[in-house]
Structure 1
Amino acid sequence: MTYDETWDRPHQPGEELGWQESDCYWFYDANTGVGGYQRIGQKPNAGTGQVTLFVFDKNGERYTVNDAFERDRPIGAEDRWEDGHQVESHRADALGDGRMRFRWDEPGSSADIEFYESFHTPRGWSKSSHEAKFMEAMNPGGHLEVSGRIKGQIRIGDRDYTIDALAHRDRSWGFRDFAHFDYRRFRMFSGTVGPELSFATFVCDTANGRTVSGFVVRDGVDEDIADLRVLVTIDADGLTSMGGTAVITLQSGEKLTLPYRPVQAYLTRFPANNGFLVDTISEVDYAGKTGFCDSIHNNNPARGTHMPDQSDTDIVAVDLGLSPSASYAI
């Protein structure tokens, strides 16, 4: 499939109760130290939606809202229109020309920001068919990945910021079969340093086998990956990534080695899938430039029979609401 602007707008739902559509993105502004992640997901046929929000100032506070798969919020016909959708105060609007406007208004945080520049043409996961069965279960309608820049206003607690940040956004639509997503291990590594390099990659081990997918784009030229390894330095809590290195093997055989350093992180629980994921917003280095990424990992001890809470970690955010930012300095 070749990108066109309809990818950015709501699609006609299929007949399945589990048909979903979601916008999510992650970002980091090194100048202000502000970054985060927002996801707006809808299941129109079920009349429900979910949100995830993690936003921080690394030297101030962080704010977390995370429905994961534990909370459904009601939505109606008025929450979905030609150019956008919303779940309560969390809203995404397609502005045309690949631009998106994102908003939220929570007691401890609010924002009005725009994804205004793309570093490459948006595209889906790997163009090869080796992961077709996995994609049929998770992204059958379509999927978009693109890196670029996001700007606007963000409030965290009583602090107001104007940001101009590196960002990566993700959009998907179609019937999602979570029964297929019985994962054993999951690693995702997506981000950008600018037009010189953007990347969207993941590896997922499920009960049905392993799926490797993704691509890199360098100066407008994209190439699918053949393999991904994310070597993570784990703190004593078994949850916190204190940094690491991603090794991306391209279809050509070339290997890119990308060291990264954590800034802030949060944990998403998936009790129905017997697991959890830790998202770590990080700085990443490539060819003398510093960019950002979201490195996602899980070690899934006891196959999820214990769901982590805040007492299990000293650094990763699990509790909802406003809390002090943690220091990842060693």
Structure 2
Amino acid sequence: MPYTVRHGREGELRQVPETGEWWQDSAFMTFHAPEAGIGGHVRIGHEPHHAGGISALWFGLVTRDGRQFRRNVATPLTDADLRDDGFGAHGGRYLAVLDGEDVVFAVDDEGCSMRLRFADFYARTDFFPPSAGTLVDDFASSHFETSGRVTGTIVLGGRTYEVDGLGHRDRSWGVRRWDTLLDHRWVPGTVGPELSFGCISWHGVDGSLRQFGYVVREGEVVHAEAVDVVVELEADGLTYRGGTSVLRLPGGEELVVRARPYGATVSEHHGVACVDAICEVEVDGRRGFCDLEVSTNPRAGRGPVTTALRANLADGISGVPEAARA
């Protein structure tokens, strides 16, 4: 397809900032290791012209044994964050750095340490079409994604988890107007190098609704002709019990992803409250994972989140929410 764009290795590094308060440069990764029973996500976003320069951090871990960890904070950019090999946050205690051909995500926090290596399954690819409207115009003008294998070690609350699992990551830079987003559903995932997928539903403040998706089979990209993403929203209006995504591919084929979260984390930034839920999935008879990421804010409210039935809302180590055990 003509709108597929590939990015080179230089795209992994911090980009030269443009002027304006809302220019940002960010790295995101989500993963799941089924044998270890742990998954999570991390986002490091640099905003060099906002409030004197900040680094916005989203970090969440969920486990099958009930341990959770969250760190959601915006802190001043420091020399430890402004690295030549990538990104830092929280005074350099959180890192996303290029190491050879892989990206390493590292954490050194109270009660939590992590070092995970992400090896890509396919080339760094921008799947967003020009018709994506405000998503491209106001939120992610330069962007790429890829799925891959994630390996390494996490120590959480004194317990060690040896990670060998699946992941998905992205990079974005450019102007990001957070106030242009009302709702979104993003479902990136993979079952391995033979099959990865992603779909997105994006509701902009201008009233537009854009939905699109893709499948990558053995490195070859196929764009969906239509996408349908439905989530089972909880009474809190924020979290959810699961979701189903259908990607209709050329030739009439349908790829169906039924996602059941076993843990989720709330992240807030610039008035957006985002829930990332780690889900085990089965696609075409193969087991894998997806991150069911959702924000729901159709009336553009700006108050803080006070209740989350099925996602972690407390920074640091905590137990799994009671509703999620039901």
- Is TM (by shorter chain) over 0.5? yes
Which residue in 2 is equivalent to 1:173? 173
Measure how far apart 1:77 and its partner are.
4.4
Task: Kindly indicate whether residue 113 of structure 2 is the aligned counterpart of residue 113 of structure 1.
Answer: no
Matches of 1:261 and 1:217, distance apart in 2: 22
Distance 1:42 1:146, change over 3 A: same
Alignment partner of 1:308: what SS? coil
Which residue in 1 is equivalent to 2:315? 320
Task: Kindly indicate whether residue 291 of structure 2 is the aligned counterpart of residue 294 of structure 1.
Answer: yes
Task: Kindly indicate whether residue 31 of structure 2 is the aligned counterpart of residue 27 of structure 1.
Answer: yes
| Equivalent residues of 1:146, 1:169 under 8 A apart | yes
Task: Kindly indicate whether residue 87 of structure 2 is the aligned counterpart of residue 85 of structure 1.
Answer: yes
Instruction: Give CA-to-partner distance per residue, 1:28-80, whole Å, 9 cap, x none.
Output: 1000101101111112234211111101222131001113xxxx311134532
| Equivalent residues of 1:263, 1:280 under 8 A apart | yes
Task: Kindly indicate whether residue 231 of structure 2 is the aligned counterpart of residue 232 of structure 1.
Answer: yes
Measure how far apart 1:94 and its partner are.
0.8
| Equivalent residues of 1:36, 1:55 under 8 A apart | yes
Distance 1:177 1:306, change over 3 A: closer
Distance 1:238 1:210, change over 3 A: closer
Task: Kindly indicate whether residue 139 of structure 2 is the aligned counterpart of residue 138 of structure 1.
Answer: yes
Instruction: Give CA-to-partner distance per residue, 1:125-169, whole Å, 9 cap, x none.
Output: 23x3212553121122x2111001111111111111211110000
Given the alignment, which residue of 51, 55, 59 partners 1:53? 59
Alignment partner of 2:125: what SS? coil
> For residue 119 of structure 1, what is the amino acid of its counterpart?
F
Measure how far apart 1:23 and its partner are.
0.8
Task: Kindly indicate whether residue 205 of structure 2 is the aligned counterpart of residue 207 of structure 1.
Answer: yes
Which residue in 1 is equivalent to 2:10? 6
Matches of 1:112 and 1:269, distance apart in 2: 24
Runs of 5+ consecutive residues of structure 2 not aligned to the other structure:
none
| Equivalent residues of 2:60, 2:69 under 8 A apart | yes
Which residue in 2 is equivalent to 1:194? 192
The size of the alignment, in residue pairs, is 316
> For residue 122 of structure 1, what is the amino acid of its counterpart?
R
Alignment partner of 2:138: what SS? helix
Measure how far apart 1:124 and its partner are.
0.8
Measure how far apart 1:84 and its partner are.
1.6
Alignment partner of 1:211: what SS? strand
Given the alignment, which residue of 56, 62, 70 partners 2:68? 62
Matches of 1:303 and 1:136, distance apart in 2: 19
Following superposition of structure 1 onto structure 2, how do residues 194-273 of structure 1 map, counting pairs within 5 Å?
A: 194-208=192-206, 209-250=208-249, 253-270=252-269, 272-273=270-271
Distance 1:329 1:291, change over 3 A: farther
> For residue 107 of structure 1, what is the amino acid of its counterpart?
E
Distance 1:86 1:206, change over 3 A: same
Which residue in 1 is equivalent to 2:126? 124
Runs of 5+ consecutive residues of structure 1 not aligned to the other structure:
none
> TM-score under structure 1 normalisation?
0.88
> TM-score under structure 2 normalisation?
0.89
Alignment partner of 2:314: what SS? coil
Following superposition of structure 1 onto structure 2, how do residues 145-156 of structure 1 map, counting pairs within 5 Å?
A: 145-156=145-156
Given the alignment, which residue of 279, 285, 297 partners 2:282? 285
Distance 1:322 1:290, change over 3 A: same
